[in-house]
Structure 1
Amino acid sequence: MTNLLLKNIEKRFGKTEVIRGVDLVIEHGEFVVFVGPSGCGKSTLLRMISGLEDISGGELYIGNRLMNEIQAAKRGVAMVFQSYALYPHLSVRDNMGFGLKVRKVSEEERIRRVAAAAATLKLEALLDRFPRELSGGQRQRVAIGRAIVGNPAVFLFDEPLSNLDAELRVHMRSEIAALHKRLSTTMIYVTHDQIEAMTLADKIVVLRDGRIEQVGSPRELYENPANQFVAQFIGSPRMNILPAANAAMLAPNSTTPVTAKSVGIRPEHIAIVSSSESALRGKVALCEYTGAVTLMHVQLPNEQTCLVVHDKNEVPPPGSELGLIAEPANLHFFDQKGQAA
């Protein structure tokens, strides 16, 4: 049973502190996603787990073994990079088996492992091709196959889908989820795309400025964000944040906590009514038709724009005046420091 334990992990480049005291437990078999904006430290943290970056402070355990001074090749982890990192002069078969050859695994065992990984990833027909003859999705599958043949205790993915087009990203996302189900191995996945995080993860770790903002399941983070940053980062389109005084106008039966300075409401939780039926009114500034729904930009009297997801066929045209209402249970309150009130 391989679990990971990060105790007060720190990373400094000179005097610049990039990772600031991260504490985290990852259980065996979990699919954990590190998510956050660019520069938050998620890839650096992944590279520290892999051994590609030194640890400046704290302790890293994999399977109850201290890993701070252990070489990357001896940690029992495999990493899948954003850039595929395939050898252009080697076939798919040789790319997948190269690491085993370096570790002097017998040819018979290499053939067996490559064949098993190719069957898992449906690459049997491509084994004799070269990387230049493959599509982006096929190259990424080869990179994943190269990781699988090593039988690692932990898989690490560093934004593996960011080079693919939208349709292929959705397809590969489902393949990675199915792979995790088949292998039942611990996987840590880094992305800046919160949709990827929500659809793949058992547990999401939201990072900002080298610190963990919140850890929890996708549902926990969506329904009970710990602070305003998580509330707006998780969920698409992002949560509306309004002055706390708007809460009573939006949901007359709601109770505003004394410490609340702002109220959050997700666009999909707002209903449109006539301007006479709500105290919170606005004008439609822009409508974005996305197919299943229309995303409406409603300008409030304080010049703030409120996003509303409208799923009806008839959409009020730009310039229309309307009212906005919501259920009290869907309101999120935050204090002056942005923490959940």
Structure 2
Amino acid sequence: MTKLRLKNIKKRFGGTEVIRGVDLEVDDGEFVVFVGPSGCGKSTLLRLISGLEHISDGELHIGDRQMNEVQASQRGVAMVFQSYALYPHLTVRENMGFGLKVRKVPAPERRRRVEEAAATLKLEALLERYPRELSGGQRQRVAIGRAIVGNPNVFLFDEPLSNLDAELRVHMRSEIAALHNRLSTTMIYVTHDQVEAMTLADKIVVLRDGLIEQVGSPRALYDRPDNMFVAQFIGSPKMNILPVENVRRLSRTAKVPESAESIGIRPEHLDLAPPSEGALNGKVRLAEYTGAVTLLHIELPDGQTCLVVHDGRNGLEIGTDVGLRTGTESLHFFDRNGRAIREKVHMAPA
């Protein structure tokens, strides 16, 4: 069983502390995604787990063993980087087996492991090709295959799809998810893309400024964010945050917690209404048509913009006056410090 435990992990570069006390447990076979904005420390944290960076303070355990002073090659982990880092003069077979050759694994065993990994990743027909003869997605699969042949206890992925185009990213996401289902190996995956995090993860770790903001399943983070940062980072398009006085305009049945300063409403939980029906009013300033839906940017009287997911078949002209109201979905309430207030109020239609 390969479980990871991080206890008060810190990392300093000179006088700057970039990881500021991280506590986390990753269960055996779990797919965990580190997500957060650029500079939040997610890649640094992954490198601390891999052994590519030294831990300044705290303890890292992989399985039953403390790993702080254990060399990267002895930790039983394999890392897949954003850059494929394939040797251009070696074939796919040679690239995948190179690490085993360095470790002096006998040739028959190397061949067996490479062919098993190639079958898992559907690379059998490409084993004798060179990297220049492969597409970006195929090269990334070779990089993953190179990690698989080492039979690691833990896979670490550092933004492995960032160099791929949008269509190929979607395809490779599904391949990585299928790979995890087949191998049932513990995987930790770093991305700045919250859509990748939502679609891949068993558990998401949201990081900001070297600290964990929240840990939970994709559904838990979407439905019950701990604070305003997580509420707006998880979910696409992002949650609307409005002054709390707008609640009563949206619904006369709302009971507002006394400590609430702001309300959060997801764009998909807002409905359009005629301005004359007494809902919160605004003007359409931008309409982003994506096919099935249109994302409307509604300018409110105070100048704030509110996002609304609308039926893509029914367009609205720029400048159109509209009303907004809630359906029966929950509102999210936040106090003056941006912390979630757990009193959830289910709204009746206005």
Q: Single out whichever of 275-284 and 166-175 deviates more from structure 2.
A: 275-284
- For 2:62, the equivalent position in structure 1 comes to 62
C-alpha distance in 2 between matches for 1:189 and 1:278: 47
Any idea what SS the aligned residue of 1:189 has?
Answer: strand
C-alpha distance in 2 between matches for 1:40 and 1:132: 34
- For 2:128, the equivalent position in structure 1 comes to 128
Query: Is structure 2 residue 324 aligned with structure 1 residue 324?
Result: yes
Matched residue type, 2:170: V
Q: Which runs of 4+ in 1 moved over 6 A?
A: none
Matched residue type, 1:302: D
Matched residue type, 1:139: R
C-alpha distance in 2 between matches for 1:284 and 1:294: 12
> Retained in 1: the 8 A contact 2:271–2:327?
no
C-alpha distance in 2 between matches for 1:196 and 1:279: 35
Provide the TM-score with structure 1 as the length reference. Answer: 0.99
CA drift at 1:100:
0.5
Any idea what SS the aligned residue of 2:291 has?
Answer: coil
> Retained in 2: the 8 A contact 1:241–1:263?
yes
- For 2:149, the equivalent position in structure 1 comes to 149
User: Percent identity over the alignment?
Assistant: 74
> Retained in 2: the 8 A contact 1:46–1:190?
yes
Q: Single out whichever of 170-179 and 314-323 deviates more from structure 2.
A: 314-323
CA drift at 1:71:
0.2
> Retained in 2: the 8 A contact 1:253–1:328?
no
Unaligned runs of 5+ in 1: none
Equivalent pairs counted in the alignment come to 341
Query: Is structure 2 residue 286 aligned with structure 1 residue 302?
Result: no
Matched residue type, 2:49: I
Q: Deviations over 1:146-204 (max 9, x none)?
A: 00000000000000000000000000000000000000000000000000000000000
CA drift at 1:312:
5.4
Any idea what SS the aligned residue of 2:205 has?
Answer: strand
- For 2:85, the equivalent position in structure 1 comes to 85
CA drift at 1:315:
2.5
Matched residue type, 1:187: M
Matched residue type, 2:6: L
C-alpha distance in 2 between matches for 1:234 and 1:94: 41
Matched residue type, 1:75: R
- For 1:140, the equivalent position in structure 2 comes to 140
Q: 1:312 to 1:175 in 2, by over 3 A?
A: closer
Matched residue type, 1:234: I
C-alpha distance in 1 between matches for 2:241 and 2:235: 13
Matched residue type, 1:339: R
> Retained in 1: the 8 A contact 2:32–2:201?
yes
Query: Is structure 2 residue 334 aligned with structure 1 residue 334?
Result: yes
Query: Is structure 2 residue 23 aligned with structure 1 residue 23?
Result: yes
Matched residue type, 2:13: F
> Retained in 2: the 8 A contact 1:251–1:328?
no
Unaligned runs of 5+ in 2: 342-350
Any idea what SS the aligned residue of 1:331 has?
Answer: strand
Any idea what SS the aligned residue of 1:169 has?
Answer: helix
CA drift at 1:327:
3.4
RMSD, aligned α-carbons: 0.8
C-alpha distance in 2 between matches for 1:128 and 1:232: 47
- For 1:4, the equivalent position in structure 2 comes to 4
C-alpha distance in 2 between matches for 1:129 and 1:279: 63
C-alpha distance in 1 between matches for 2:230 and 2:84: 30
C-alpha distance in 1 between matches for 2:76 and 2:229: 35
CA drift at 1:330:
2.1
